[in-house]
Amino acid sequence: MARLRAKDYDDKRAAILEHAAGLFATEGFAAASLSRLAAACDTSKAALYHYYQSKEAILFDLLDGHIRLLLETVEAAGRQPAKDARARLKIMVRALIGAYDQADNEHRVLLNEIGRLAPDQQDQIKAMERAIVARFAAAIAAALPDMAGNDRWLKPATMSLLGMVNWHYTWFRRNGWLGREAYADFACALFLDGAPRALQAAEAAAEV
């Protein structure tokens, strides 16, 4: 007879992933040991194996859950009502940056440790990353008609916008003067309108 799962099984797996994200982000996947992770979770190394077969299994579940949440967030944002294509792009940028709130560790691990996964697992993660890029490329093409059908420049433009979003964690300060939503609007304006108009709009918004 199969062993029944405890009622808090999913909660404990989620707690393991949360602690693993912090440990892998600060120490690196290779250096982080299961013993250190068990200590962070206030449990034993043997107990971890009840939830995950290996450190690699933890890494995959962590990255798969993170990128899946980002994709679902972007898709939901793209379906929200918007007055025009530019407004829809802003909604998507806000949503993606908002999804990084409280998830800086997961994102850092995604960027730095995906190569530790098996090739088929990497393919699964990267397919979802490509889907996010595709959603933004379509939104950019709608917001900037000159980009529509321009296969040469649409991808570089898309990756430039996503670069501002995906790497903001390297300098953003959670308790600083700039909020994530304000930065999302600034990044979107910077992309759509250029630096002078983006700065003007940002300063006007800050005065309200």
CA-to-CA distance for 101 and 43, rounded, in angstroms? 27
**Site of tokens 């299994």:** 57
| Successive 10-residue mean pLDDT values, the chain, 208 residues | 61 93 95 92 90 94 96 97 96 95 91 95 97 97 90 93 92 90 94 88 80
Largest CA distance in the chain: 68
Which CATH number is correct for 9-207, 1.10.287.110, 3.30.70.560, 3.40.50.970, 1.10.357.10?
A: 1.10.357.10
Sequence ranges of the domains in the chain: 9-207
How many other C-beta atoms lie within 10 A of the C-beta of residue 88?
Answer: 19
Rg (CA), the chain: 20
Contact 90/54 with Cβ under 8 angstroms? no
